[in-house]
Amino acid sequence: MKLYCLSGHPTLPCNVLKFKSTTIMLDCGLDTTSVLNFLPLPLVHSPRLSKLPSWVSKDGTINLEKELKECAGRVFVDSQPEFCLPERELLDLSTVDVILVSNYHCMMALPYITEHTGFTGTVYATEPTLQIGRLLMEELVTFMERVPKAQSATCWKNKEIQRMLPGPLKDAVDVWTWKRSYSMQEVNSALSKVQLVGYSQKVELFGAVQVSPLSSGYSLGSSNWIIQSHHEKVSYVSGSSLLTTHPQPMDQSSLKNSDVLILTGLTQMPTANPDGMLGEFCSNLAMTIRAGGNVLVPCYSSGVIYDLLECLYQFIDNANLGTTPFYFISPVANSSLEFSQIFAEWLCHNKQSKVYLPEPPFPHAELIQTNKLKHYSSIHGDFSSEFRQPCVVFTGHPSLRFGDVVHFMELWGKSSLNTIIFTEPDFSYLDALAPYQPLAMKCVYCPIDTRLNFHQVSKLLKEVQPLHVVCPEQYTQPPQSQAHRSDLMLELHPPPMPYRRCSVLNLPFRRRYERVYILPELANSLVPSEIKPGVSLATVSAVLHSKDNKHTLQRLHAIPNVPKKRKRVPEEPPVLLGPKPLLSGAVPLEAFLATLQKHGITEVKVEETADGHILHLQAEDTLIQLEEDGTHIVCDNNEPLRTTLRDLVLRFLQRL
C-alpha cells in the first residue's frame, strides 16, 4: 500500500492512495496562496496601480518592466493571477480510478485533474459539497474573466532570473507549473463526473474495496472517508470540527479500529479561539460603524459567512446597529444564501428542527426580509444606486487580488475611519495588504477557523486508536514563529509518519488475509472431522475462481475427452488426483512404546528434546522423532520396517 503526496499545503491536500488493486485520489485542493505574488485585478481603472514603477535589479542586469512592478518595497507580477496546482509528474494521473472529495474547499483543483490528465474515473462527493463547490468555482471564473489581462508574464519564471528576484518571489516553488484559472466549460465538464453520495452510504470499488463518507462537522456536506476491504481499514480525516456550528456533528465512532489514519486539514490558527474571534469581530465592527466608518470583510461566498451573519443577527439590535446596511456582494451571493436554507438534512439537529416548524434554519433569511442584509452579484447595476454609507460589506476574494473587494480597498483604503476585518485564515493578512500600502484604513485580524486543533485531535486519536497515523510534516513540529510551543504539534506513540509534497510513503501494514467464498454444492460435499471438542476440520480440493476481486472455490470437474482434429490417437483424459489425507492428533510416548514392544521391538532408547522425543531403535539402527507438529522415521535400506513403523504411528492419528 502506497501514498503519493501531491500537495504541500496541509489544509488543501491532494494525495493518491494505492490500496489493493485500486488507485484513489483523496481530495484535490488548489493552493491559492500563489496569487499573493500578483498585482490585484481592479474592476475599474486604478491610476495608483497603473503608475507603480517597474522593478529593475540593483545592477540593472534584469529589467522586466512589463512583468514586475514594485510597491512599498515588495515586487509583484503584473499578470493574470496563477494558481499552484497539485503535483502532476509524480505518477500517471490517468490511472486514478476515483476521487473522494471531503469538502468544497478541497475540490477547487478538480477541473485541472479531470480535464487535463486523461482521467476517466468517477468523483464522489456529497450534494452540498458539489453544489457549493460549483458556486465557488463559478465565482472564481467570473472574477477572472470579467477583468481579463492581455499580457501573460512568463520571463520572470526563468530559473536564472527567479533566483535573482527579491523574496518572496525568489522562494516561490514550482512556478512553471502555475496555471491560470480554468473556464466555466471545464468546470461543467469536471462536475459532470461527480456521483453523489450520502453519509454512511457504502460504495463498492471494483469489488476490491468499499468507501463510505462520514460527517466531519466542518462545513455543509463535509466528509471524512472510510476506505476498507474485508480485513483492512484506512480512515481519511480532512477538515473536521468538534465545535457546535451549523453542520451535522462529526461522526467519531466509525473511525475506530483503523489500520492507518491519514490526517489532514487541522486548524491553521491553533492559538485563536473561534468564539473569541467572533466577539472581537462584532466589537470592532460596532466601533467602526459608531465612528462613522465602513467595514470591509473579505470572505468566501459560503462557510464562515453563515456563522458571521448569524452572530450579527443576535448582535445588531443590542449594539444599536439596526439602521446600518449590510451588503453581501458575490456573483453567486443569491445562490449561496438559498442553498444554505435548503440542505436541511445536512444541518445540525437544532437547525433541522426549525425546518419542520416551518422556519428558515439560518437567521439571514429574516435579515433579508427586513432589508438589513442585501445581496448583489457585483458592484455594478442595482448596488451602485442603492449603496449608502456607513455600511458593512462582505465580499471576495479573501486574497484581495481579485473580485469586488479590490474596488473597496481602492475606495476606502485612504481613510482611517474605515476598517478591514480579516476572518478567513487561508492568507497572511500582511501579504494580502502589501500591494495597497501605504494604507490608512485600520486592519483587524480575527481568523475564524473551526477545524480541529492539536489538543482536540490528540484526544480524538486516543479514543479511536489507529495503529498508524500519517500526516503532513508541518504537524510534527511546532510553528517556526513559536518553536517553544510543543503543544502545537502532534506527539504520538508510535510517532506519526510525516509527508511533504512529492513524497511517496510505503504504509506500514501488509495484507494478510483475503475473503474466499465457497459454493453450496462444494460445501455440501465436505465431511468435517472433529479434531478436538468444538473444533472440526475438512479438507477441500477445489478450483479457485477469481473475477472482479471476488474469489470463489468451485468443485473440481473432470475435463471430458474431446479428440482434437488431425490426431489419430485420442488423448488420455487428465487425471484429477485427490488430495493427500491430512493427519491430526499426537502420538503418546508410553502407548507407542508399548505398541513397539508388542511387535517385537524391545531395545528402545528414549531421548528428550526441546520439541519432543527421539526414539533410537538400537537393534534395527533406526531413529523415530516424535515432535508436536510431525513425526520422522529415519530408516536406511529397510523399507518393510519403515512401512511397519509408519502404520504403527498412524494408529494414533486421525485422518481428515
At residue 473, does pLDDT exceed 80? Answer: yes
Question: Given CA atoms 290, 294, 296, 302 in this order, what sign does their dihedral have?
Answer: positive
> Residue range 239-256: average pLDDT?
91
pLDDT band for position 561 (50/70/90)? low
pLDDT of residue 329: 96
pLDDT of residue 403: 95
At residue 412, does pLDDT exceed 70? Answer: yes
Q: What pairs with residue 210 in β-bridges?
A: 204, 228
pLDDT of residue 558: 53
pLDDT of residue 9: 93
pLDDT of residue 563: 54
Task: Retrieve residue 624's grid coordinates.
Answer: 523415530
pLDDT of residue 484: 84
> Residue range 451-469: average pLDDT?
94
Question: Which residue type sits at 305?
Answer: I
Greater confidence (489 vs 194) lies with: 194
Residue burial 562-591, b: 16+ Cβ < 10 Å; e: rest: eeeeeeeeeeeeeeeeeeeeeeeeebeeee
Of 635, 640, 567, 546, give the one whose Cα is nearest residue 599: 640
Q: What mean pLDDT, rounded, does the chain reach?
A: 89
Helices (H), 27-174: 47-50, 110-116, 127-145, 159-162
At residue 375, does pLDDT exceed 90? Answer: yes
pLDDT of residue 347: 85
Q: Among 171-175, 246-250, 470-474, 584-588, where is mean pLDDT lowest?
A: 584-588
pLDDT of residue 459: 94
How many CB atoms lie under 10 A from the CB of residue 174? 16
At residue 35, does pLDDT exceed 60? Answer: yes
At residue 207, φ and ψ (nearest 5 deg) are 70, 0
At residue 589, does pLDDT exceed 70? Answer: yes
Q: Which residue has the cell 503535483?
A: 87
pLDDT band for position 576 (50/70/90)? low
Q: What pairs with residue 209 in β-bridges?
A: 205
pTM: 0.84
pLDDT of residue 572: 55
pLDDT band for position 566 (50/70/90)? low
At residue 356, does pLDDT exceed 80? Answer: no
pLDDT of residue 562: 52
Using alpha carbons only, what angle is made at residue 167 by residues 162 and 172, rounded to the nearest 5 degrees? 60
> Residue range 244-270: average pLDDT?
92
Task: Retrieve residue 358's grid coordinates.
Answer: 416551518
Give percent above pLDDT 90 in the chain: 54
> Residue range 48-57: average pLDDT?
88
Residue count (the chain): 656
Query: How far is residue 341's CA from residue 349's CA, in Å, rounded to a whole number?
Result: 14
Give percent above pLDDT 70 in the chain: 96
pLDDT of residue 288: 94
Q: Is the Cβ–Cβ distance between 35 and 82 less than 8 Å?
A: yes
Number of H helices, E strands in the chain: 17, 33
